[in-house]
Structure 1
Amino acid sequence: MGKRDWNMTPKQQNIYENLWHQAHKIFDWRTHHQGKRGTARYRDGVRSFAKHLAINYGSKNFKNINEKHLRSFVEESQEAGVSAATIKTDLSAVRKLHAMLPKTRHKLPDNNDILGAEKRKIVGVDRAWQNREVTKAVHHARIMGRKDVEWAIGCARTMGLRIEEATGLTRTQMREALINGHLHLTKTKGGIPRDVPLNQGAKRVLQRILAESKHEKIFTGHGQTHRQAMKSIQNWLQNHRKVFTEKSEQESASTYTKQLGIDVQRPHLTFHGLRHSYARSQYEKATRGGMSANEARLYVAEQLGHGRDDVTRIYLGRN
């Protein structure tokens, strides 16, 4: 069974404990009729979701959760290698808790809407953006004057950065990266530093950002907090993704999945999907260069900043 990363700061721990206190009161007296095992399993699901909210959103009240929180939770769980059955139970627990709360703000979709009704029949899940989708998104962001979105997309697609890694970059880091030929990251998921080699696309992205921004803190130099900067970019993608999402599932299947001959499901494009695109391109480059499939997966794992083959397979659409 996969394991999620729940490292929390003291502030996030306090938020989590508040969320868990809300849930604990409900599950203590309203779910005892399910039996000890059923109740315990639902509690575990809600506990995991509460940690996800605390770490990724700073959410303080279950009443405010909506579809994006569920999708984000599923994506993180899948990346961690958590089984589909476990994720499904977790979602059911969250929806049951939500149904018990008075005056909730949003209606939550059912499991089929989040996971896909045919998920168990599908060999792969293709979350990666296609090159033309990236091009269209960047163009749309540029027209709207959203340089932050344009820059973040570029960083994720050419260097495989998570959104918190991209929005945490500084001018000093970028200048040093162009000199050294690799981007040194210290503020990463799990706190494990890594060096990302710069390809020509990455160099062009960094050069453009340095030319267009004069702030040391590229994404937070305009009075925004780091969390606000991330949320603004994520909201833009969610609100505008219909503009740049390819309509034909067959046409937009990646080179990698076509070569494997697997059927794929393409969920909504998310920022994290750009990291999948980076993984695919690095894998294809490595295999074209003579690496075996196993060697290429290990190479990609290093670039992504983790060492698990099962997670790499998810990025490559083979979960």
Structure 2
Amino acid sequence: MRDLNYQLKNLCDHNKDGSQTTKADRHKKLQMMADHLFELGFRRMNANSLKPKHVDALIARYLSEGLNEGTIKNRLSALRWWADKVGKPNVVAKDNAYYGIESRVFITNESKARDLDRELLSKITSDHARMSLELQKAFGLRREEAIKFIPEYADQGNHIRLKATWCKGGRARTIPIRNELQREVLDRARLLAGLGSLIPSHLMYVDQMRIYEAETNKVGLHKMHGLRHRYAQERYYELTGWQAPACGGPTRDELSEEKRLDDRVARLAITQELGHGREQVTAVYLGR
């Protein structure tokens, strides 16, 4: 292993911020960029020698390859993390526009929500993976949150609480328990998990993630992020009394002033429940 790759591996190993998925993804990106820097002619780099010229060279390569903005922005996030950990936060510009990459979220009024087909769900042979999927549907959880879910800890009677270590960005949060379906799913999750999580006691998280992926892929369910879209849209209807724009409801411009306030309150509530830092991201689920 080259010096830079080895040092970046150590940097990742000694800094535990973020979820398991976030850490694994960051490590993968940094190793890839170390290889790219070597290919670009920077043969004697170490982790502390990161300079603006290295960042510029990487971005120029990625732009020339025609990578989409989202991919480049994700790699820039990993570069900023690297720069911050070696005490050089100013090496990477804070504004993506500096590199000719726009910082925007693409929002359409086309729904990407999906439901769980009961027939397909019944073909999931892992009880724990099937329960994680049901929790994703009932509470709009991310995949990692639903796999690490500890019912005994999370169930607080009228709401569930999620540990920071389960959540993207380390943002702990709560989600209300609003209906009998959610209560029924939680009760079954508690029976299955006992005092533990939805990771069987003899497995690690990474093992259960592989089982989840294999089980969902074989029946065409994949990552099921569409369940979060569905949760957001159903919650929006519950809070406002009308459908979200992504479901054919009125756009913001078509709402009265009073209803715009209701729309705003609903979007902020859903943003918190989904664990997003910005309402703009939630708009991807709801439309404008």
Instruction: Judge same fold: TM > 0.5, yes or no.
Output: yes
Residue 174 of structure 2: SS of its match in structure 1? strand
Kindly indicate whether the alpha-carbon contact (under 8 Å) linking 2:150 and 2:193 is maintained by their aligned counterparts in 1: no
CA distance in 2, matches of 1:280, 1:313: 10
Q: 2:138 corresponds to which residue?
A: 158
The answer as to 2:281 corresponding to 1:316 is: no
Q: 1:298 corresponds to which residue?
A: 268
CA distance in 2, matches of 1:48, 1:294: 28
CA distance in 2, matches of 1:8, 1:46: 20
Instruction: Quote the offset at 1:224 in angstroms.
Output: 2.1
- What do the CA deviations read for 1:20-47 (whole angstroms, capped 9, x no partner)? 3222212337xxxxx9998442457568
- What do the CA deviations read for 1:215-241 (whole angstroms, capped 9, x no partner)? 433322242211222232233323312
CA distance in 2, matches of 1:14, 1:146: 29
CA distance in 2, matches of 1:228, 1:51: 27
1:284 to 216, 230, 237: 237
The amino acid of 1:303's aligned partner reads E
The two structures, once aligned, show a CA RMSD in angstroms of 3.9
Instruction: Quote the offset at 1:126 in angstroms.
Output: 2.6
Kindly indicate whether the alpha-carbon contact (under 8 Å) linking 1:280 and 1:315 is maintained by their aligned counterparts in 2: yes
Residue 148 of structure 2: SS of its match in structure 1? coil
Kindly indicate whether the alpha-carbon contact (under 8 Å) linking 2:152 and 2:194 is maintained by their aligned counterparts in 1: no
- What do the CA deviations read for 1:250-284 (whole angstroms, capped 9, x no partner)? xxxxxxxxxxxxxxxxxxx6322211111111111
CA distance in 2, matches of 1:209, 1:228: 19
The answer as to 2:197 corresponding to 1:227 is: no
Q: Whose Rg is larger?
A: 2
1:192 to 171, 191, 203: 171
The amino acid of 1:185's aligned partner reads L
The answer as to 2:18 corresponding to 1:23 is: no
CA distance in 2, matches of 1:164, 1:221: 15
Q: 2:112 corresponds to which residue?
A: 127
CA 1:17–1:308 in structure 2 vs 1: closer, same or farther (change >3 Å)?
closer
CA distance in 1, matches of 2:38, 2:141: 39
Matched pairs, number: 212
TM-score (norm 2): 0.60
Instruction: Quote the offset at 1:168 in angstroms.
Output: 0.9
Instruction: Quote the offset at 1:162 in angstroms.
Output: 0.8
Instruction: Quote the offset at 1:206 in angstroms.
Output: 0.8
Instruction: Quote the offset at 1:125 in angstroms.
Output: 4.4
Question: Mapping of 1:170-181 within 5 angstroms?
Answer: 170-174=150-154, 176-177=155-156, 180-181=157-158
Instruction: Quote the offset at 1:312 in angstroms.
Output: 1.1
Residue 292 of structure 1: SS of its match in structure 2? helix
Unaligned runs of 5+ in 1: 1-5, 30-34, 53-81, 88-119, 245-268
Unaligned runs of 5+ in 2: 1-15, 43-52, 63-70, 79-95, 243-258
The amino acid of 2:41's aligned partner reads D
Residue 122 of structure 2: SS of its match in structure 1? helix
CA 1:302–1:221 in structure 2 vs 1: closer, same or farther (change >3 Å)?
same
CA distance in 1, matches of 2:149, 2:210: 16
Instruction: Quote the offset at 1:317 in angstroms.
Output: 3.9
CA distance in 2, matches of 1:150, 1:287: 31
Instruction: Quote the offset at 1:185 in angstroms.
Output: 1.0
CA distance in 2, matches of 1:218, 1:197: 20
